[in-house]
């Protein structure tokens, strides 16, 4: 039986953020093909983390720069973050040099950081705080110029070169790495997120009400979206729908309630969501006005699963949309988002069309063929590493002296 060893900074928590969704998808793909999976992380299981043991995953707790002996040598080693690869690459090279090394993540951390810096620069310059069409249309060459000097970019790209395969959910990151940074496409694998519909039947337009926003508001991109929503977008939306109500749920939301909670304006911060599917499935429209980020967004995936039309920005839809119409609306300004949200909330025919788009998205998901790609790579690993000379140089520098 083939063996996958995962070395991670944290255990997957799909109810908290999109990274947990993605990691579970990867693990389940290997388990379904009969692989033995060991998950090693520096922390014990927490309140909202997935029950890996119930899936048949063997768990280990690891300390910094140490790796417990394994009864079976791994065929593949998977790192959940470039910083984890940095920390353990030398040990893996020493003890398991023949293992295929894989890096997984929901989007590029360096891309997320670069977009955040571009947003900050725009806000500092005093440009229109509601219209971000130019920001969202930033081209690949401009992103490269922003990213290339960054230490985060250099570290993340070094980890990608050292690994034999990096999984990416979105095509935007693939294009940037291949055409911007010159990473060979054989080191990358497009592994889009997949999902199944929520267990409860989708409610129709007449049985839903209000707007909803779900997310981990301890994350910088979600914090920024919440502030933009509260101070810019929501007042515009309320002018169109004076009785509109928004419920904001998720980790970290309660800590901001004192400053942002405004029931008299229809803006409610609720805190942690115990049953996200029910909350999303009862809402008429999901709002996700993200101004920076990378990869797919968990709250929008939840909206698709629950048949809830959503209104977001090009950044929000980037990791999920693909080549089909978005099941809701995409806009690049607060005015455009407010107009689209109000119209979608009020127009039953348009709403029904958007909900049908959710079903179409779920039905058109494709198998990423990840395990097949990995198994093929195991048979050609020596040849691939021979031609990945840059990766060989970087792996040598990472070996313990």
Residue 358 pLDDT class (50, 70, 90 cuts): very high
Position with higher pLDDT, 169 vs 211: 211
By C-alpha distance, which of 90, 111, 80, 27 is closest to 315? 111
Q: Which of 262-271, 308-317, 389-398 has the lowest mean pLDDT?
A: 389-398
What is the average pLDDT score of the chain?
Answer: 91
Q: pLDDT-derived band of residue 365, with 50, 70 and 90 as boundaries? A: confident
For the segment 209-219, the average pLDDT, to the nearest whole number, is: 90
* Distance (Å, whole) CA 119 – CA 122: 5
Instruction: For residues 274 and 366, give the distance between their C-alpha atoms in angstroms, rounded to a whole number.
Output: 30
The confidence score (pLDDT) of residue 114 equals: 96
Statement: residue 353 has pLDDT above 50: yes
Average pLDDT over residues 13-35: 90
For residue 57, pLDDT beyond 50: yes
Are the beta carbons of 9 and 41 closer than 8 angstroms?
yes
Mean pLDDT on 349-377: 91
Separation CA 267–CA 261 (nearest Å) = 6
Where are any strands of DSSP class E within 180-251?
Answer: 188-190, 211-214, 246-249
Quote the CA–CA distance of 192 and 190 in Å, as a whole number. 6
* pLDDT above 90: residue 187: yes
Residue 315 has pLDDT above 50, yes or no: yes
How do residues 241-268 score in pLDDT, each as one tens digit? 999 999 999 877 666 666 889 999 999 9
Q: Which is more confident, 127 or 278?
A: 278
**What token pair was written down for 316?**
């929000």
Q: Which domains does the chain have, with CATH numbers?
A: 3-110+139-194+366-392 (3.40.50.2000), 205-363 (3.40.50.2000)
Question: Rounded CA gap, 276 and 174, in Å?
Answer: 31
C-alpha of 128 from chain center: 28
Confidence (pLDDT) at 401: 42
Alpha helices in 306-388, H assignment, sequence order:
314-317, 334-346, 348-363, 370-379, 381-387
Q: What is the pLDDT of residue 308?
A: 98
Tens digit of each residue's pLDDT (9 = 90 or more) over 323-333: 788 999 999 99
Residue 218 has pLDDT above 90, yes or no: no
| Among the listed residues 16, 14, 21, the one whose alpha carbon sits nearest the alpha carbon of residue 251 | 16
How does DSSP classify residue 8? E
Residues 196-204 have a mean pLDDT of 93
Percent of the chain with pLDDT over 70: 96
Mind listing the pLDDT tens digit for each residue in 277-292? 999 999 999 999 999 9
Residues forming a β-bridge with 39: 6, 59
Burial of residue 378 (number of CB atoms within 10 Å: 0-12, 13-18, 19+): middle
Residue pLDDT, tens place only, 173-182? 999 999 999 9
Question: What's the rounded mean pLDDT across residues 305-326?
Answer: 91
Q: Which residues have CB under 8 Å from 394's CB, separation 6+?
A: 158, 161, 162
The mean per-residue pLDDT over the stretch 69-83 comes to 93
Share in percent of the chain as helix, strand, coil (round to 5)? 50, 15, 35
pLDDT of 64 above 80: no
Asked if 317 and 378 count as a contact pair (C-beta separation under 8 A), the reply is no
pLDDT higher than 60, residue 134? yes
Mean pLDDT of 306-315: 97
Residues 325, 355 contacting (CB under 8 angstroms): no
The verdict on pTM exceeding 0.85 is yes
**So what's the pLDDT on residue 16?**
76
């Amino acid at each position: 039986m083939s063996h996958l060893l995962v070395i991670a900074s944290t255990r997957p928590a799909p109810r908290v953020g999109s990274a947990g969704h993605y990691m579970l998808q990867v693990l389940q793909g290997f388990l379904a093909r009969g692989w033995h999976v060991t998950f090693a992380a520096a922390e014990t299981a927490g309140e909202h983390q997935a029950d890996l043991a119930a899936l048949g995953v063997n768990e280990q707790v690891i300390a910094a720069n140490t790796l417990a002996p394994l009864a079976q040598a791994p065929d593949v080693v998977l790192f959940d973050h470039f910083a984890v690869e940095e920390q353990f690459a030398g040990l893996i090279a020493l003890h398991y040099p023949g293992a295929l090394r894989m890096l997984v993540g929901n989007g590029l951390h360096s891309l997320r950081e670069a977009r955040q810096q571009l947003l900050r620069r725009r806000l500092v310059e005093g440009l229109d705080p509601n219209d971000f069409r130019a920001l969202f249309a930033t081209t690949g060459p401009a992103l490269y110029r922003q990213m290339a000097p960054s230490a985060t970019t250099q570290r993340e790209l070094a980890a990608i070169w050292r690994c034999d395969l990096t999984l990416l959910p979105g095509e935007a990151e693939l294009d940037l790495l291949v055409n911007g940074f010159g990473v060979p496409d054989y080191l990358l694998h497009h592994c889009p997120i997949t999902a199944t519909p929520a267990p409860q039947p989708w409610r129709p337009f007449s049985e839903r009400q209000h707007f909803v926003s779900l997310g981990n508001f301890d994350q910088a991109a979600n914090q920024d979206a919440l502030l933009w929503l509260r101070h810019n977008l929501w007042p515009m939306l309320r002018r169109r729908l004076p009785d509109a109500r928004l419920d904001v749920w998720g980790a970290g939301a309660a800590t901001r309630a004192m400053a942002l909670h405004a029931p008299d304006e229809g803006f409610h911060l609720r805190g942690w969501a115990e049953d996200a599917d029910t909350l999303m499935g009862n809402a008429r429209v999901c709002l996700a006005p993200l101004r920076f980020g990378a990869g797919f967004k968990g709250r929008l995936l939840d909206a698709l699963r629950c048949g809830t039309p959503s209104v977001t920005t090009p950044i929000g839809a980037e990791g999920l949309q693909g080549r089909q119409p978005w099941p809701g609306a995409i806009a690049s300004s607060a005015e455009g988002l407010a107009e689209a949200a109000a119209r979608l909330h009020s127009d039953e025919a348009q709403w029904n069309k958007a909900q049908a788009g959710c079903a179409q998205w779920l039905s058109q998901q494709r198998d990423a063929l990840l395990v097949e790609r990995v198994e093929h790579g195991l048979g050609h690993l020596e040849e691939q590493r021979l031609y990945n000379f840059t990766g060989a140089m970087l792996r040598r520098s990472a070996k313990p002296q």
